[in-house]
Amino acid sequence: MSDEKTWPHQELGKKLSNWGRWGADDEIGTLNLVTPEKVAAAAKLARTGKRIDLGMSFDKNGPQDGGFRINPVHTMTWTPLDTAGLPDGMISADDMVVMGLQCATQWDALSHVGYGGFFYNGVPSTAVRPGAGATRNSFAAANGHLISRGVLLDLPAVKGVDRLPDSHEITSTDLEEAEAAHGVTVEPGDVLCLRTGWYQYFLEGDKTKFGRGPEPGPGLEVLQWFKDRDIAAIAIDNWAFERYPTVVEGSVIPVHQIAIRDLGLTIGEMFTFEDLAADCAADGVYEFLFTGTGLKISNSVGSPVSPIAIK
Ligand code: UVW
Asked if residue 64 has its Cβ within 6 Å of ligand 1, the reply is: no
Asked, for residue 67, whether it belongs to a domain, the answer is no
Asked if residue 269 has its Cβ within 6 Å of ligand 1, the reply is: yes
Asked if residue 108 has its Cβ within 6 Å of ligand 1, the reply is: yes
Per the structure, the count of domains in the chain is 1
Asked, for residue 95, whether it belongs to a domain, the answer is no
* Closest residue by CA, ligand 1 atom 4: 240
195 DSSP β-pair partners: 154
Distance 91 CA to ligand 1 centre (A): 42
**Is the pLDDT confidence value at 65 over 80?**
yes
Asked if residue 154 has its Cβ within 6 Å of ligand 1, the reply is: no
* Closest residue by CA, ligand 1 atom 7: 108
Asked, for residue 118, whether it belongs to a domain, the answer is yes
Instruction: Summarize the confidence of residues 155-180 as an average pLDDT.
Output: 98
Asked, for residue 77, whether it belongs to a domain, the answer is no
Structure pTM?
0.96
Asked, for residue 93, whether it belongs to a domain, the answer is no
Tens digit of pLDDT for each residue in 110-122? 999 999 999 999 9
Tell which atom from ligand 1 comes closest to the C-alpha of 244.
Answer: 3
Q: Which amino acid is at 245?
A: P
Instruction: Summarize the confidence of residues 139-149 as an average pLDDT.
Output: 96
Asked, for residue 140, whether it belongs to a domain, the answer is yes
- Cβ 72 vs Cβ 59: under 8 Å: yes
With a pLDDT cut of 70, the percent of the chain lying above it is: 99
Number of other residues whose CB lies within 10 A of the CB of residue 82: 14
Asked if residue 102 has its Cβ within 6 Å of ligand 1, the reply is: yes
Instruction: Summarize the confidence of residues 156-183 as an average pLDDT.
Output: 98
Domain hosting 240: range is 10-58+100-310
Q: Is 275 left (phi over 0), alpha (psi -120 to 50) or beta?
A: alpha
305 vs 63: CA distance, rounded Å: 15
Q: Who contacts 217 (Cβ-Cβ below 8 Å, separation ≥6)? A: 169, 170, 196, 236, 238, 240, 241, 242, 243, 244, 255
Domain harbouring 185, CATH code: 3.50.30.50
Choice from 68, 242, 256, 257 to test ligand 1 binding pocket (greatest atom count within 8 A of CB): 256
Number of other residues whose CB lies within 10 A of the CB of residue 128: 21
Helix, coil or strand: residue 178? helix
Asked, for residue 84, whether it belongs to a domain, the answer is no
Q: What is the DSSP string of 100-135?
A: -TTSSSEEE-TTS--BTTEEGGGEEGGGEETTTEES
10 vs 115: CA distance, rounded Å: 9
Tell which atom from ligand 1 comes closest to the C-alpha of 106.
Answer: 8
Helix, coil or strand: residue 41? helix
| pLDDT of 1 | 47
Nearest to 192 by CA among 221, 214, 170: 170
Asked, for residue 200, whether it belongs to a domain, the answer is yes
Distance 89 CA to ligand 1 centre (A): 48
